Amino acid sequence: QWNDPRLIFNENHEWNKYPYIKEGKSLLNALWFPNLYFIGSQKSEDIEGVVSKLGEVRLYKNGTISYEDRIRLTIGSCESTFQNFPFDTKICKVRGIVYEEDADTLRISESQILFDPELFSTIPGFDIDIQYLDEENSVLFWKNRLFSVK
């Protein structure tokens, strides 16, 4: 979610009854969306960048835009330590990256990140444990900079 102070709302909306406006695809094309990418993923499926403008958007009176979408990331770069081999642990870090002139505040809600363990039922002997990165490592904000990630 993020806040866009440029939004102006028609006062005909019943804010007390409906605390947000939920609109369709026509509205999505008129809104600013952050350029969001993930470092540490090999592939992002069925999306352009990550924000595909196919998800659900809610607009609040204070200018907050809440956006939810489903994406599939294939995780590729994992750190390995072989000191406890064959009982070693791999750590796969995925970071959300936002690069935009206007991207001062963007929150990726980790409580909304879901993992389907059934997708890994064909890999015997592996357990997957999701642990969220601390705030410092989870989202980077780079204003007005060009960068490349290898």
Residue 95's contacts (CB-CB under 8 Å, 6 or more residues apart) are 38, 39, 40, 133, 137, 138, 139, 140
Which one has a higher pLDDT value, 99 or 59? 59
The CA distance from 29 to 126, in Å, is: 42
E strands, 46-130, in order: 56-60, 64-68, 72-75, 79-80, 90-91, 95-98
Residue 18 has pLDDT above 60, yes or no: yes
Mean pLDDT of the chain: 67
35-71 confidence digits (pLDDT tens): 776 766 665 554 444 455 567 788 898 988 887 776 7
102-124 confidence digits (pLDDT tens): 445 555 555 555 566 666 555 56
Q: Where are the domains positioned within the chain?
A: 2-141
